Chain A
Amino acid sequence: MNDDLILLGHGSGGVLSHKLLSDLIIPALSGTPLSGQDDAAVLNIDAGRIAFTTDSYVVDPIFFPGGNIGSLAVNGTVNDLAMVGATPLYVSCGLIIEEGFSRKELSAIVTSMRQAADLAGVRIVTGDTKVVPRGKADRIFINTAGIGAFVTGQPLSGANAKLGDKVIVSGTIGDHGIAVMAAREGLSLATEIQSDCAALNGLVNEMLAMAGDSLRVLRDPTRGGVATTIKEIAVQSAVTITLDEAALPVDPAVRGVCSILGLDPLYVANEGKLLAVVAPAAAEALLERMRQHPLGKNSAIIGEVATAGVGKVQMKTAVGGVRSVEMLAGEQLPRIC
C-alpha cells in the first residue's frame, strides 16, 4: 500500500479514516480542548447576536504564490465574518479529497489552515473528511463555515451607504486573481505576483475602534472584483457611487498582465482587500489608521457616494472622461489579440 496517497478507504469511516484524522488532520488543525471527536463542537459564545457564514473553495491551482487552498478557506471565512463587523471565533472545515491525492500536500494544506487560523485568532473546532473516487473531484475541495460574535456595535450592511460618504480600498487590487491565473496557466512573468490572501479581522478591529458608527459598509471584493462589489453596494444602498480611476491602487505588474491579456483589474478577484464606505468627516483619519496597518498600507480613497437613489456606479477616468461601471458578466476571459 502506498502510504503517500489518500485512498478511498481514508474516507470510509473505518480504521484508515481514524488514523488519517488522528495522525494528520486533528494534530494540524486543532489540538485544543475543543478538538474532541463528538458529533458536534460545544462552544461558548458571549453574545446576543452572532454572525454565521459558509463558503466552499475550489481554487485551481491549489498552491499559488502567496497561499494555498487551505489558507484561502480560513481567511475567506474569517473575512466574511469581519465584513459584517463580527469578531470571528470558530471555523469548521469540510474536506472533500480525490482518491490518490498526495498525503504530503494534504499535510501542507491543513498546516497552513492552522497557521491562518492562529494568525486570525480563530479556532477550527469541527470538520469532516470525505474521499471521492478519482475523477469525481479536482484534487481537493474545502468548505469552511464560521461563527462570529458582535462584541460591540451593530452589524454592518451594504445597504448603509449615504450621500457624501467616501469609498476606501485597503490596497492594490487584482493581486490574488492574477497570481492564481499566472500560476494556473503557467504564464512566465518577469516578477512573481503574490496573492494578497490574508485575514482582515485585525484591520477591521482597528477600523471599527477608530471610526465606530461612521463606518457604514465593509465588503471584501473577492470574485467579481472591486467593480462588482461597489455596484452591489450602490444597488443595496440605492445610491450612485463615483469612482476616481486615478486614485485606484494597482500594482504595476498586475496592470501589465491585465493589459496583455485584455483583463480589467477592477474585475479581478482579491482575497485580502476590503472596501469601506465611511462618513466624510471620518474618512481621512480612518485612512491614516488603515495605512499604519500592514494589510492597509496602500489604502486609498477611491470614490464617493455622489447622489442618493438609482444604484449606479460611474468612473471618472484617469484622463478626465466618464464611464459607467457594471457587475462582471460571466467570467473574464483572455482576449484573442
Chain B
Amino acid sequence: MKYQDEYRNRELVQGLAAHLENLVAGYAGTMTFMEVCGTHTMSIYQYGLRGLLPAQVRLISGPGCPVCVTPNSYLDKAIACCRIPGVVVATFGDMLRVPGTSSSLMEERAKGADVRIVYSPLDAVKLAATNPQLKVVFLGVGFETTAPTIAGSILAARQQGLGNFFVLAAHKTMPVPMAALASDPELAISGFICPAHVSTIIGADAYQPLARDYQRPCVITGFEPADVLQGVAMLAAQVVAGESRVEIQYSRAVKPQGNPKARAILDEVFAPCDAEWRGLGMIPGSGLAIREEFASFDAERMLPLTPELSREPTGCRCGDVLKGKITPFDCPLFEQTCTPEAPVGACMVSTEGTCAAAYKYGR
C-alpha cells in the first residue's frame, strides 16, 4: 500500500535503528522522549520499537489519547444526556466503554439508553435530520484533528436549520499541555515526538515556543515504524548537538503553517477556554468551547443536564501514566483490578490508551 508499505520496510527500519545507535554511541546520559499522540503509542508497542532502541534512548507516553484525557466529569455529563428521554447520544466507538463515576455509556445502553456509534459527526447530523422527534447529542471529544469536522457539523446543522442537533464539547488543544509537561520539574523530558494528525491542522510553527522557551527539541513524526524511528533519530541528533528546534519528519503531510482552512472553521465555531484534563488537572487555555453565536447547538447550555457528583477512581494512576511519570507496569491496578474487560482508568479503555497498548502488546 502506497505511503504505508515503504515505511514498514524491515531493512529501512533496521538501518534507522543502526543509525540511531551510532548517533548516540558517545552520549553518556539518558535521553527521554515523550510521544503525545495515542497513535504513536500504539505504533511503538505494535511494532515492538522499544526493542530496537539503544540503551540511552527512552520513550515515554504522554497525554495523547483524547479518550484518556477526558475526565470523569465529562463522562458523567454524557451519561446524564443519555438518561434524558428522547435524547440520542451519538459518539465515536471508543467512548462507549470509558467509565464515568459510577457508570459508562455502554452500561447505560444496556439499561435502555439510546447510544449509537457513528463514524463521522455528519452521520450524527443526518440522524438528527431524519429523526426530528429526537434530540441528537454528539460527543465532541478530541484534539485539533477532530475538532474541525465537529465544527463543520455544527455549521452543517445550522445551514439545515436543525433545532435538534447538539454537541457536548470537550475538545482540547495540544501545544499548551506540552508546555505544562516541559515545565514540570519532576519530568525530565529531553524532547517531544509531536503528533502527526494534529500537526497537519495546526502546523509546525505551533511548537516554536516549546523549542524556544523551554529548550525542548520537537520533531513532528509520522505513524509508521520508519517514521517513528527517524523522528527519534532526529530528536537524538538535536540532543547530542545541544540544540532545540522544531523539525518536520512527516513532511508528506505537515506544513509549517498547517491547514488554514481547517483552522478558520475552528476559529469560527470554537473559542479557547480552560479545560480539565484527566490526570493533568485544569490547564488554562487548553480547551475549545462553542462560541456564543452557536449556543443553540451546545448541549450543555440547551439540555437540562444533572450529572452525578464526579470523582476520580480510587488508586487509579492514569494521571501519572499520562504525564509519563510512571509506566503502566508501575501502576498497582494494572492487570490486577484494571484490565481492558473491566477498566478502572481511561488509559486502559481506549484502544490508543497507554495502558491498553501495554496490556495488549507489551506484557
Contacts and interface: CB of A to CB of B under 8 A. Distances in A.
B350 A319 contact: no
Interface stretch (B80-88, B261-269, B298-306, B355-363): B355-363
B339 A323 contact: no
Interface string A291-326: 000000000000000000000000101111111111
B8 interface: yes
Interface stretch (A48-56, A254-262, A268-276): A254-262
Interface string B82-126: 000000000011111100000000000000000001010000000
A321 B119 CA distance: 32
Interface in A135-178: none
Contact of A326 (B146, B225, B350, B359): B359
Given A262-B351, A318-B10, A319-B8, A336 B92 contact: yes
Interface stretch (A16-24, A89-97, A193-201, A327-335): A327-335
B220 interface: no
B192 interface: no
Interface stretch (B39-47, B155-163, B178-186, B206-214): B39-47
B48 A321 contact: yes
Given A326-B359, A330-B341, A317 B46 contact: yes
Interface stretch (B25-33, B137-145, B245-253, B272-280): B137-145
A319 B43 CA distance: 11
B44 to A, nearest CB: 9
Interface string B38-81: 11001001111111100000000000001100000000000000
A334 B92 contact: yes
Given A326-B359, A336-B67, A321 B52 contact: yes
A319 B94 contact: no
B146 A319 contact: no
A337 B47 contact: no
Interface in B132-177: 141-143, 145-146
Contacts of A324: 360-363
Residue from the set B48, B141, B339, B350 with the largest chain A CB neighbour count within 10 Å: B48
Interface of A: 185, 187, 246, 252, 255-256, 259, 261-262, 264, 315, 317-326, 329-330, 332-337
Given A252-B1, A319-B48, A321-B47, 10 more contacts: A262-B42, A318-B225, A319-B8, A321-B225, A324-B361, A326-B359, A330-B340, A334-B119, A335-B92, A335-B352
Closest 7 pairs between A and B when the two form their complex, measured CB to CB: A321-B48, A329-B340, A333-B93, A319-B13, A323-B361, A323-B48, A334-B93
26 contacts: A255-B1, A256-B1, A262-B94, A262-B352, A264-B46, A317-B47, A318-B225, A319-B48, A319-B49, A320-B10, A320-B48, A321-B48, A321-B52, A321-B225, A323-B46, A323-B361, A324-B361, A326-B363, A329-B341, A330-B340, A335-B92, A335-B93, A335-B352, A336-B67, A336-B141, A337-B66
Interface of B: 1, 4, 8-10, 13-14, 17, 38-39, 42, 45-52, 66-67, 92-97, 117, 119, 141-143, 145-146, 197, 225-226, 339-341, 350-352, 359-363
